[in-house]
Amino acid sequence: MVRVRFAPSPTGFLHIGSARTAIFNWLYARHMGGKFLLRIEDTDLKRSETRFLEEILDDLRWLGLDWDEEPIFQSRRFDVYREKAGGLLATGKAYKEGEAILFRVEPGRTIEVHDMVHGTISFQTDTIKDQVLVKSDGSPAYNFSCVVDDSHLGITHILRGDDHVSNTPKQILFYEALGLTPPKFGHMPLILGRDGAKLSKRHGGVSVLEYQAEGFLPEALANYLILLGWTPKDGREIMPLAEAVREFEITAMNDVQAKFDIQKLRWMNSEYIMAAPSGTLLPLIKAQLRDAGLDISGRDDTYISRVLELYRVRIKTLREFTGMADFFFKDDYALEEEGKKYVETEGGRASLEAFASRLEALEDFGHDALEKACRELAEEKGVKPAVLIHPARVAVSGKTKGAGLFEMMEVLGKEVVLKRIRSVTHG
């Protein structure tokens, strides 16, 4: 049975690159009917924090990943590492240097690794110095503890980033010295920015938590990260996790570096937003509104859902909703500078006054009736409907762009619309 692992370090939040590694390991395990395990690399006792671990586990769950068996913690296995190093010391394969234990690397050897992504990779042991097994403070070295734990967990395949390629021959030497069969290795090319430089914050290389706060949906983020390393046979771009599990083939993974495109991710997120049920989006939108400092205590879910339906086709992230639709939840909005020209002229105010009078007479305040009233008034005045629409939009929303004016007015309601128009016309 396939057994793979993801090994987060609780010294910080889950980075987007690490999330991709976790997703591919999970995908492979689920596709093969195997096990996906967690190993917590918390040997750095000073920097490891429970809050980071809890957030990492929450982020994995948020992305739709689950794991089999209880995670193991390296901080609880120091005795095991020291025992294994002691065994190598006793057979002469390692030696002491002060309190540290080092492994003797045999020179003149060629180590070949049949990488699942890159094919055969060769290493010369002449380029590898003797390796630390246990440090002078009693803590294990990274490569040694990885081998001991992966053997303990029965890991059959290790899928990780290219930045670990140089660790692979060292780990193979430890497997051999301990009399163990090495797992199969696969190294994924790293994610770069669009400009080909190392991924950084300016490219969108931030933590999963930040994407969540920004209003990206987990399905969209997971989908996008999958495409940074693998492409389905049919070239599809929208592929939820369940479908990816069915289609995934590790042999089809890309062996060239992937470029992170935040605009592509935003587009993909908008596709998932448009397709998501209102019931899924509603609690997320309410959280965004609260985070933006908007009081929604007097707004029922029906009202918020109606506003959401006006904007779901216009937003790329859920956070954008609050900036576009804030006027639905407060009256003290500012008028955009660009829009003031529509309402601060004598002609603009006159158009608004006439439109308000026509609106006040309406019994039906639905968008069809509102549009009809607008067009009839424009025709009577011999002007284009835009002469009425532009100042009305600015008056009721403070903005020059957004959802359809009549749909907005219908949701706001007759009383609010008239109040807002007249507050502008009467200064």
State percent of the chain over pLDDT 90. Answer: 85
- pLDDT, average across residues 79-87: 97
- The dihedrals phi and psi of 172, each to the nearest 5 degrees, come to -60, -40
- pLDDT, average across residues 90-114: 97
Give the model confidence (pLDDT) of 9-41 as tens digits: 999 999 999 999 999 999 999 999 999 999 999
pLDDT band at 143 (very low <50, low <70, confident <90, very high): very high
Q: Dihedral of CA 6/8/13/16: which sign?
A: negative
As annotated, the active-site residues are 201
What is the predicted pLDDT for the residue at 194?
Answer: 73
Pairwise CA distance, residues 50 & 55, whole Å? 9
38-69 burial code (b ≥16 CB/10 A, e <16): bbbbbbeeeebeeebbebbbebbebbebebee
Other C-beta atoms closer than 10 Å to the C-beta of 189 total 17
Residue 365 clears pLDDT 70, i.e. is over it: yes
What residue ranges define each of the domains in the chain, with the CATH number in brackets?
Answer: 3-188 (3.40.50.620), 276-327 (1.10.8), 337-425 (1.10.10.350)
Give the model confidence (pLDDT) of 59-68 as tens digits: 999 999 999 9
What is the predicted pLDDT for the residue at 311?
Answer: 97
Question: Nearest CA to 44 among 139, 125, 129?
Answer: 139
User: In one letter, which amino acid is 208?
Assistant: V
Q: DSSP of 379-394, one letter per residue?
A: HHHTS-THHHHHHHHH
What is the predicted pLDDT for the residue at 124?
Answer: 97
pTM of the model: 0.93
What is the predicted pLDDT for the residue at 205?
Answer: 63
